[in-house]
Structure 1
């Protein structure tokens, strides 16, 4: 079953976007790829890139201590905190009131998708820096404007948005970055412990440098897949739908499997 068939099978059940191409950034398959979705945790890639920009500039250090707290400035004014019940990464919460390194927080943010760690890293790196990185590579359709669980900002229409095409552009940039920071980021993405989407559609043991995201009606994943016997390829899938969450995961995995099956001739994907 081709990608078009897979997407036709969920027609009318929500919004589904796909971008597939190689590290040259040229797409070979797109479906509603320019349409933005709520970003969920895919925005954490931009937070990591913003942090690394400041590390490279000497403004931050991966070894610098950061006190773990749950009180942040809202993009709408006032203060807010992360909803602990909805954060599926508990380790950062065990450090409340203690100091950890910025690098430890970055690892929790990417590999375990910690929301609290994300806001702590974002506080150091700055929303403006994350948005600037996105603007450098993206089309303008996507945006990083606030931290996670900033309810007042969300109510005011201040949101984080991501299109499959823009997420792909960010991953292409990350995949072509030969600096120490580029390698560091890719290793973080490869260590992601939530692997129910793209990695589930390719053979076990395949290196996939990816970041997924999920929320109510939301299931996304975007990554660089590195077959041992073919060139790397970039795949991003964003879903905002009425599908049960396990079905959305299976859809992304099936799309990844179709890309994998054409890895030697990616342009043949239909």
Structure 2
């Protein structure tokens, strides 16, 4: 079933955005690609890039010690903590009160999507640095304004937003980054252990450098797919909908599979 057919099948059930193209940054398919959604964990990619920029500048080091804690400055003033019941990556929590390396936290942030690890890394980089990465490559509509689970900021209307086009622009930048930092971030993305969306229907062993995100009514995934027999392509699908979560995952997986079948001639999808 074509991508347009799949999107027609969910018409009226929420907001769905798609960006599909090559690493040259040119889209072959856009569907509400400029519309922003709550970013969920897709914001962790700009955080990782901001971290590596500071590492390259000598302001941070991957082997530096960070004490694991759960008390952070809120973007709305005051303090907040991550809700452990909503963090599906338990490893960071086993080190509360202990020192771990910044690089280990970054791995947990991307490969396991740890919320606690994310806020610890974000505390090191600063929200402004992460937002600057998104602003540099994106349209300006997508923003990072707070950490994960900053309930006070959320209540004050301070949110993290992401559009498919802006996430795709960040992925294109990462995919074309020939530095050690670029390679490091791509390897983090390729190590993602949550693979129920873009990679789900692709042939086993296909390298997919992706970061997904989920919350109530939210399912997103964006990544670089690297077929062994065709040029890489970038796909981002963002969904804010009433679809049951497995259906939202199936939609993203189905769109990715359709892109895969056209990997030798992606432009034929138009």
Q: Residues 201 and 255 of structure 1 are in contact (CA less than 8 Å); yes or no, is this contact kept in structure 2?
A: no
Please report how far the alpha carbon of residue 244 of structure 1 lies from its aligned counterpart in structure 2 after TM superposition: 0.2
Task: Output aligned runs, 1:190-229, within 5 Å.
Answer: 190-229=190-229
Match of 1:69? 69
Alpha-carbon distance between aligned partners in 2 of 1:102 and 1:207, rounded to the nearest angstrom: 25
Alpha-carbon distance between aligned partners in 1 of 2:246 and 2:88, rounded to the nearest angstrom: 17
Task: Output aligned runs, 1:13-52, within 5 Å.
Answer: 13-52=13-52
Query: Normalising to structure 2: TM-score of the pair?
Result: 1.00
Match of 1:151? 151
Task: Output aligned runs, 1:184-263, within 5 Å.
Answer: 184-263=184-263
Task: Output aligned runs, 1:4-19, within 5 Å.
Answer: 4-19=4-19
Secondary structure, aligned partner of 1:200: coil
- Deviating above 3 A after TM superposition, structure 1's stretches of 4 or more consecutive aligned residues are none
Deviations 1:4-54 (A, max 9, x none): 000000000000000000000000001000000000000000110010010
Matched, 1:82 2:82: yes
Match of 2:139? 139
Alpha-carbon distance between aligned partners in 2 of 1:220 and 1:163, rounded to the nearest angstrom: 10
Match of 1:95? 95
Matched, 1:177 2:177: yes
Alpha-carbon distance between aligned partners in 2 of 1:181 and 1:244, rounded to the nearest angstrom: 37
Query: Normalising to structure 1: TM-score of the pair?
Result: 1.00
Number of aligned residues: 270
Alpha-carbon distance between aligned partners in 2 of 1:251 and 1:129, rounded to the nearest angstrom: 33
Please report how far the alpha carbon of residue 130 of structure 1 lies from its aligned counterpart in structure 2 after TM superposition: 0.4
Matched, 1:120 2:93: no
Match of 2:160? 160
Q: Residues 39 and 213 of structure 1 are in contact (CA less than 8 Å); yes or no, is this contact kept in structure 2?
A: yes
Q: Residues 145 and 158 of structure 1 are in contact (CA less than 8 Å); yes or no, is this contact kept in structure 2?
A: yes
Match of 2:267? 267
**C-alpha RMSD of the superposition:** 0.4
Deviations 1:203-235 (A, max 9, x none): 111000000000000000000000000000000
Please report how far the alpha carbon of residue 201 of structure 1 lies from its aligned counterpart in structure 2 after TM superposition: 2.6
Secondary structure, aligned partner of 1:17: strand
